[in-house]
Structure 1
Amino acid sequence: MARIKPQALLQQSKKKKAPSRISLTTIILFSLIVFMVVFFIFSAYRHFSHRSVNPDEPVRYTSRKVGELKNIDVPKYAIIQTSKGAIAVELFKDGSPEIVDEFIELCQKGHFKGMQFHRVIKHYVIQAGDIHSIGPAEQWTLKGKHYSQLDRSVKHEAFMLGTSKSKHDSKGFELYITTAPIPDLNEKITVFGRVTKGEEVVQEIEEVDTDDHYVPKSAIGIMDVTLEQKL
């Protein structure tokens, strides 16, 4: 058997101890992973830092007072979440600016959460508010009214949102939604909005069983009201 020369053994030993080189493919792959991680972190930061000003996101006004809102920031719609479903209302800021401002401020304070529909008169109106201050039911009946002489202005249509014209504190701010064209109701309430979605919810509330004083026999309440720039 041929003997291996010492010089050859030394060279083989050096080859075994020499560190292996990292391939170019491994370097490229590692760099790509690092880049993707950094890009993901940066994108996530930009998304959450600018989320509140994204025009495609629904804007909810729950912290700023009405006086701090710019004209372009004033919400145009209110979503009334009831136990029967959601009712979307377009707010008439130009027609009833003071009432709309008061309504928005009360929404921010959670005034309408838990409010009950305490009076339901079929083919007339549904009313939400304080059941202890509803007054005589006769004030809201249709006796002696002639539909042939209805004023056809927008405020006399069905599915209009309003509140009492009488002076009241914030606790007395009640909501009325008409379910038929009501000309005389304009003498009692200030209309400040129109139902644009959820008419079927209004009609479902209108159809509930009531007692002789038009009070629903089963509780129907408002869970919350949120404000939106667009639907």
Structure 2
Amino acid sequence: MAKIKPQALLLQSKKKKGPTRVSITTIVTCNLLVIMTVLSLYATYKHWYKRSGNQLTMDLTRFERTETSGETKKFDLPGYAIIETSKGLITVELHKDSSPEFVDKFLDLCLKGYFKGMHFHRVIKHFVIQGGDPQNLGAAEEWTLKGKPHGQLEMSPKHEAFMLGTTKVKRNAKGFELFITTAPIPDLNEKLYVFGRVIKGVDVVQEIEEVDTDEHYRPKSPIEIVNITLKQEP
């Protein structure tokens, strides 16, 4: 049997057990690939996050461009509003077709949080409950404080009980009053713009109507609108 020289054994051992060297170029290349991958993932996440946020906003304010006139019109707007009060929930069907101007204004104010914290500051039994700015009543105070209808005018369907409206006397004002009728009131035909109808929560409206008030029909305990949620379906 042939003997292997010590030098040959040493070389053979180094070939088998010696660590493999990694070049600097390989290390730099790997690091660059990792950095590029991280940046790519971050850019993708940022893109989809922004897109989802924009989509949520556009759910209520989507527009379409008509090919013939070039005008922009709203479509697919919410048809219902859920008014969360300190007494319970009131669901209102909005009259988008017959009262588009006031529905648009109402929706815009809802999105801005205008009604959050608003109080019903006038509660007149068998007449209306009113929410808005109690310090800026204007001409509305004259007829709401009467507390009952006067005259025998022809009944209008839009002024039946449990209709949602806003006062005509403040149409161009910055504020926006909310009225819910609690009885058929024919003489409000010239007082209110009606843009909705209560379809759920009539009992809540009636409970608000029954609260104790002072001589000016102001509730003795605050009745607050906590929030208004817009819905496509009731």
* Whole-angstrom distance in 1 between the partners of 2:168 and 2:134: 18
Q: Give the aligned residue type for 1:168.
A: N
1:18 alignment partner in structure 2: none
Q: TM-score, normalised by structure 2?
A: 0.66
Partner SS, residue 155 of structure 1? helix
Structure 2 residue aligned with 1:114: 117
Matches of 2:150 and 2:155, distance apart in 1 = 15
2:131 is matched with which residue: 128, 142, 145?
128
Separation in 1, partners of 2:99, 2:118: 23
Hey, what does 1:173 align to over in structure 2? Answer: 176
Instruction: Give, as a single letter, the amino acid of the residue that structure 1 aligns with 2:195.
Output: F
CA contact (8 A) 1:160 1:177 kept: yes
Q: Which residue of 2 aligns with 1:63?
A: 57
CA distance in 1, matches of 2:186, 2:83: 25
Is contact 1:150-1:182 (8 Å) kept? Answer: no
1:209 corresponds to? 212
Give the conservation status (yes or no) of the 8 Å contact 1:96–1:192: yes
Q: Counterparts of 2:56 and 2:166 in 1: how far apart (Å)?
A: 21
Partners of 1:145 and 1:220 lie apart in 2 by: 28
1:145 matches 2:150: yes
The sequence identity of aligned pairs, in percent, is 61
What is residue 229 of structure 2 aligned with on the other side?
A: 226
The alpha carbon displacement at 1:142 in A equals 4.7
Aligned to 1:55: none
Q: Give the superposition deviation at 1:68.
A: 3.2
Contact 2:149 2:187 in 1 (8 A): no
Alpha-carbon offset, residue 145 of structure 1: 1.9
CA deviations 1:83-103 (Å, max 9, x no partner) are 000000000011111100010
Partner of 1:29: none
Q: Which whole-Å CA distance do the structure 2 matches of 1:205 and 1:92 have between them?
A: 24
SS of the residue corresponding to residue 189 of structure 2 reads helix
Give 1:161's aligned amino acid: L
Q: Which has the higher contact order (CA 8 A, sep 6+)?
A: 1
Contact 1:77 1:230 survives alignment (8 Å):
yes
Partner AA of 2:172 in structure 1: H
For 2:176 and 2:56, the matched residues in 1 are separated by 18
Question: Which residue of the partner structure matches residue 162 of structure 2?
Answer: 159
The answer to whether the 8 A contact 1:137-1:213 is kept is no
Q: In the aligned structure 2, how far is the partner of 1:65 from the partner of 1:131?
A: 33
| Partner of residue 197, structure 1 | 200
Letter aligned with residue 212 of structure 2: D
Q: Does 2:117 align with 1:97?
A: no
* Structure-2 separation of matches of 1:62 and 1:227: 13
Asked if residue 182 in structure 1 is aligned to residue 176 in structure 2, the reply is no
Please, what TM-score do these two structures have when normalized by structure 1? 0.67
Go from structure 1 to structure 2 and tell me whether the alpha carbon gap of 1:144 and 1:124 turns closer, same or farther (over 3 Å shift): closer
Runs of 5+ unmatched residues, structure 2: 1-48, 65-73
